[in-house]
């Protein structure tokens, strides 16, 4: 091996190398800053050259010699790019877009977007400004075909470039809107889902949230409820505490309510309506606040009984007392009070008002299903009341109290027993339902022992009081 080769190997082996390779992955270059922008400084100020040559180039373009003007611009672009002059490069690149747009040569505009973005050593900030200038031309295209071609060109140029992720997202949203207006909901949703905007570090939080909400909306239109739920988890609801994002908060909870109602998650729908009610702009509008509380009251009544539902129904009842909603307030009071609710009377008193609620109105299959759920909640409430006041009751009397047939009554009892809401045993031959839970012998013995201890304590206390009275009486007699 010659001396020259040994020197080259030694130089390679002593080149500084980062101790942690992950630092290379997390370097500013990967975040969108090129090596030229982070290390290389501007070598020459080309602003004077650009100022001198641009008038001549514009004169050629206006005189009908667009080809010559663009050739002169290419020479000027190379000078500014070689000098790493960001301001001048940006002016020149934007002028390419402006001249081709003024000439209404859309094919040439798209070609130069591709050519200029691939130039070696081109400053990324200059490319970004050029793409932004091109996006302003989208609303000025002569027809939809030209607009779609320009959008596709911009999406191709911005694909895989981190420093153009925001521009790509905005162009993609425009394309999805076009597809939606054409009736291609599935294609529009698929286009939006290709972008993972939650990973975009250069996009503002508000715009990012708005983009995710649009993804959720398209998924719900597409009837893809599972994906809509997955996308909803990308939003941190603590962000909605800011007063300047109340419109986004209302959009988010409206979409979540649509998903919850499709999945028959009535307790979740109630929580979402309470969040809407807690929004300042809703509280300032009495009509919106009343609507939110009424819907929260309806869906908490439709939710199956458990500890969380029991706690929430008391909270919603307190909110209903603050708002002028007497019908919904009284309906919740019936569920809170440990008294029987006769379904025919409930229909007579609350039916007309509840029938005006969009969730129960219209006579659709969903509204009929929710009305049946309300009937089920009333029956379950009555069974819990009966189980609290009775230890044993005949099935005939129970069916009278519940206004149900024998088969339906037994079915409801079985459901509540399985869910461990109540304890019950049915003696079919005897026609008796027992709500008293049989106790273990040890429990009976412990209770008996406690009762005996309490009785002996009372006897001892009584004896002490009698002795005290005798002593007081003897002392007064002696005196």
What are 182-196's pLDDT values in tens digits?
999 999 999 999 888
- Residue whose token pair is 């900030």: 125
- Residues 6 or more apart whose CB falls under 8 angstroms from that of 221 comprise 180, 185, 189
pLDDT for 253 equals 96
- Residues 6 or more apart whose CB falls under 8 angstroms from that of 343 comprise 375, 378, 379, 403
What are 354-378's pLDDT values in tens digits?
888 888 887 788 889 999 999 999 9
Backbone angles phi, psi at 471, to 5 degrees: -65, -45
Whole-model pTM: value is 0.79
Query: For the chain, which residues make up each domain, given as ranges?
Result: 44-158, 386-434
Residue 295 has pLDDT above 90, yes or no: yes
What are 93-109's pLDDT values in tens digits?
998 999 999 888 899 99
CB-based contact 134:154 (threshold 8 Å)? yes
Residue 74 has pLDDT above 50, yes or no: yes
pLDDT for 181 equals 92
Q: Which two tokens stand for residue 402?
A: 């519940």
At 40, the pLDDT band (50, 70, 90 cuts) reads low
pLDDT for 479 equals 64
What are 217-249's pLDDT values in tens digits?
999 999 999 999 999 999 999 999 988 999 999
- Residue whose token pair is 């307790």: 267
The percentage of residues in the chain with a pLDDT greater than 70, rounded to a whole number, is 91
Q: Which two tokens stand for residue 193?
A: 């889902």
**98-122 b/e with 16+ CB inside 10 Å = b?**
bbbbebeebebbbebbeebbebeeb
pLDDT for 217 equals 95
CB-based contact 164:128 (threshold 8 Å)? yes
- Residue whose token pair is 């080149």: 15
Type and span of the H or E element at 321:
helix 307-322
At 61, the pLDDT band (50, 70, 90 cuts) reads confident
What are 420-472's pLDDT values in tens digits?
888 888 888 888 988 887 777 888 788 889 999 999 999 999 999 999 888 88
- Residue 426 CB burial class (10 angstroms; 0-12, 13-18, ≥19): middle
Read off the pLDDT of each residue in 305-310 and give the average, rounded to a whole number.
92
What are 8-33's pLDDT values in tens digits?
333 333 333 333 433 333 333 333 34
Domain 386-434 has CATH 1.10.260.40: no
Nearest 5°: the CA angle 258, 263, 264 is: 95
At 329, the pLDDT band (50, 70, 90 cuts) reads very high
């Amino acid at each position: 091996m010659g001396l020259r080769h040994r020197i080259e190997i030694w130089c390679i082996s002593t080149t500084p190398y980062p101790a942690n390779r992950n630092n290379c992955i997390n370097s500013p270059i990967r975040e969108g800053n090129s090596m030229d922008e982070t290390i290389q400084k501007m070598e020459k100020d080309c602003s004077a050259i650009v100022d001198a040559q641009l008038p001549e180039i514009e004169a050629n373009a206006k005189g009908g010699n667009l080809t010559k003007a663009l050739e002169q611009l290419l020479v000027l672009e190379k000078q500014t790019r070689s000098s790493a002059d960001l301001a001048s490069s940006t002016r020149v690149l934007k002028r390419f877009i402006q001249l081709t747009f003024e000439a209404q040569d859309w094919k040439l505009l798209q070609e130069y977007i591709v050519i200029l973005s691939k130039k070696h050593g081109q400053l990324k900030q200059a490319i970004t400004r050029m793409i932004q200038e091109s996006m302003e031309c989208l609303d000025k295209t002569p027809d939809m075909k030209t607009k779609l071609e320009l959008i596709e060109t911009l999406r191709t140029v911005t694909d895989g470039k981190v420093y153009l992720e925001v521009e790509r997202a905005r162009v993609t949203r425009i394309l999805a809107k076009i597809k939606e207006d054409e009736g291609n909901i599935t294609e529009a949703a698929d286009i939006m889902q290709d972008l993972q905007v939650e990973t975009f570090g250069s996009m503002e939080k508000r715009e990012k949230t708005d983009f995710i909400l649009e993804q959720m909306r398209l998924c719900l239109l597409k009837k893809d409820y599972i994906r809509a739920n997955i996308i909803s988890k990308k939003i941190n609801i603590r962000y909605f505490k800011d007063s300047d994002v109340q419109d986004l908060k209302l959009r988010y909870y409206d979409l979540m309510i649509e998903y919850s109602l499709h999945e028959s998650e009535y307790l979740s729908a109630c929580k979402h309506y309470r969040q809407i009610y807690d929004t300042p702009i809703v509280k300032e509008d009495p009509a919106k606040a009343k609507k939110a509380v009424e819907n929260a009251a309806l869906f908490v009544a439709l939710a199956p009984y458990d500890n969380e539902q029991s706690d929430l129904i008391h909270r919603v009842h307190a909110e209903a007392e603050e708002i002028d909603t007497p019908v919904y307030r009284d309906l919740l009071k019936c569920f809170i009070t440990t008294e029987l609710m006769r379904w025919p009377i409930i229909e007579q008193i609350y039916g007309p008002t509840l029938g005006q609620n969009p969730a129960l109105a219209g006579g659709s299959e969903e509204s009929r299903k929710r009305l049946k759920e309300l009937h089920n909640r009333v029956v379950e409430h009555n069974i819990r009341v009966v189980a609290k006041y009775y230890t044993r009751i005949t099935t005939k009397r129970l069916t009278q109290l519940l206004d149900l047939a024998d088969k339906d009554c037994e079915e409801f009892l079985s459901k509540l027993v399985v869910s461990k809401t109540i304890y019950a045993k049915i003696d079919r031959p005897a026609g008796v339902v027992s709500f008293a839970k049989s106790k273990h012998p040890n429990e009976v013995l412990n209770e008996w022992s406690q009762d005996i201890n309490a009785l002996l304590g009372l006897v001892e206390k009584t004896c002490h009081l009698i002795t005290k009275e005798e002593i007081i009486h003897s002392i007064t007699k002696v005196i």
